[in-house]
Amino acid sequence: MESAFNPSIKQLSFTELEAFLRQQREGGFRARQIWHWLYEKWACDFEEMRNLPAALRQVLQEHFSAFSLKPIDRQKATDGTLKWLCQLSDGLSLETVLIPSGRRNTVCISTQVGCQVRCVFCASGKKGLKRNLLSSEIVDQVLLACRHLQEKVSNVVVMGMGEPLHNLENLLPALELLSSAEAFGLGARSITISTSGIVPGIRSLAELERPWNLAISLHACSDQQRSQIIPDAYRYPIKEILVACQYHRERCKRMPTLEYALLQGFNDSDQDAARLAKIAKRLHAKINLIPCNPGPSKYQAPAIKHCQHFQELLEQAGAKATLRSRRGDSIMAACGQLQERHQE
Ligand code: SAH
Ligand code: SF4
């Protein structure tokens, strides 16, 4: 019998899977068949793998689990955004969001349960870090969305719960699998990693020279202002973040994004817009404005007209800026909020 406590088969590399199959006296071609079921057919049970002999399916079931997530809640917003709450084998839970938009299907994945950065406006960071997700748990979120759509997603954004650069150990193998032509086969340019600005992590990513996109959650243009929303423990000076970001752009040849949560009365003045435009232009970065989602803090989003005014100021100053519509508001799409409600 498969047990939820068996290790995930997706923790194995292709070579490790081949070695396991050799031990079981199975032909080398079986690894390719299994890989196909896992990453191209999004199978979540070994029983689905119909071209494998029943005895092998049984052996796999005794040693591994095929899928690490158990969906326990799902909500759909009027704009089609879909959000899952999934339980992990140890009873903790994570959130995954699917955002359909025209011909694009973007899945937003989590990398940790909780987060130790603890930005004041973010539900994920409210209770600190519970644990890092395994690479199989990261990959399975993407496969869950594909299985639902019965189609391969076109984009992956690492913008769910957690600070991705605090879990590079598991994120990197997951992204390699997702980008690998032999496994999931998603173009590296279709992957975006969002970070609160963990400088050593940005440098490590840069050195890999993969064309994954980088998004920096800046939210404020001075360290003093930023310190009011991001606690000191894991906050780096803006100057160092920008140098690391520049290094990443040079090595990976991708234009960075600056994320800026608009918090009414805190970072939405005309002067804030001027300072943000200056930083973005110097960095050759585009800006993504996110009106604050109601969360654990006192902050609120400015009125939509004011958000548009802020965007216009940026553009007049020569910066490129998009204003994110508050997708999935009706299901509380800000990260960590669905999980929080379940715990209450
Ligand atoms: N930890 C990473 C990625 C996950 S959060 C990071 O911080 O970048 C993804 C984005 O959502 C970040 O820009 C984050 O600051 C933002 N965010 C979190 N809570 C929010 C809220 N209540 N309103 C608006 N943006 C929020
Ligand atoms: Fe962590 Fe990002 Fe939330 Fe900050 S915004 S607490 S870094 S998940």
Q: What is the pLDDT of residue 341?
A: 57
Residue 102 CA to chain centroid, in angstroms?
Answer: 21
> Across residues 31-39, what is the average pLDDT?
97
Contact 139, 174 (CB under 8 A): yes
Of 7-11, 110-114, 125-129, 322-326, minimum mean pLDDT range: 322-326
The yes-or-no verdict on residue 337 having pLDDT over 80 is: no
Q: What percent of the chain has pLDDT over 90?
A: 84
Confidence of residue 1 (pLDDT cuts 50, 70, 90): very low
What are the start-end ranges of the H helices in the chain? 14-23, 29-39, 54-63, 135-149, 168-179, 199-208, 223-226, 238-252, 270-283, 304-316, 337-343
Per-residue confidence band for 327, with pLDDT thresholds at 50, 70 and 90? low
Burial string for 113-124 (b: 16+ CB within 10 Å, else e) reads: bbbebbbbbbbb
Q: Specify the pLDDT at position 300.
A: 93
Which residue's C-alpha comes closest to atom 15 of ligand 1?
Answer: 217
Three-state DSSP at 296 gives coil
What's the confidence (pLDDT) of residue 332?
45
Q: Which ligand is nearest to the CA of 216?
A: 1
Q: Is 137 helix (H, G, I), strand (E, B) or coil?
A: helix
Average pLDDT for residues 174-178, to the nearest whole number?
A: 95
pLDDT band at 2 (very low <50, low <70, confident <90, very high): very low
Pocket perturbation via mutation, ligand 2, pick of 110, 111, 113, 115 by most ligand atoms within 8 A of CB: 115
- The token pair that represents 38 in the structure block: 């896992």
Does ligand 2 come within 6 angstroms of the Cβ of 122? yes
What pLDDT score was predicted for residue 338?
A: 57
Q: What's residue 294's pLDDT?
A: 84
The predicted pLDDT at position 335 comes to 58
- The pTM of this model reads 0.95
Question: Cα-flanking dihedrals φ and ψ of residue 158, to 5°?
Answer: -95, 80
pLDDT digits (tens, 9 = 90+) for 41-79: 999 999 999 999 999 999 999 999 999 999 999 999 888
Q: Is the CB of 229 under 6 A from ligand 2?
A: no
| Cβ–Cβ under 8 Å, residues 139 and 191 | no
In one-letter notation, the amino acid at residue 193 is I
User: Which two structure tokens, joined as six digits, stand for 299?
Assistant: 């902050």
Going by C-alpha positions, the residue among 68, 234, 240 that lies closest to residue 162 is 234
Q: Is the CB of residue 145 less than 8 Å from the CB of residue 134? A: no
Ligand 2: which of 94, 161, 196, 217 to mutate, judged by most atoms within 8 Å of the beta carbon?
196
Amino acid at 160: G
| pLDDT at residue 109 is higher than 60 | yes
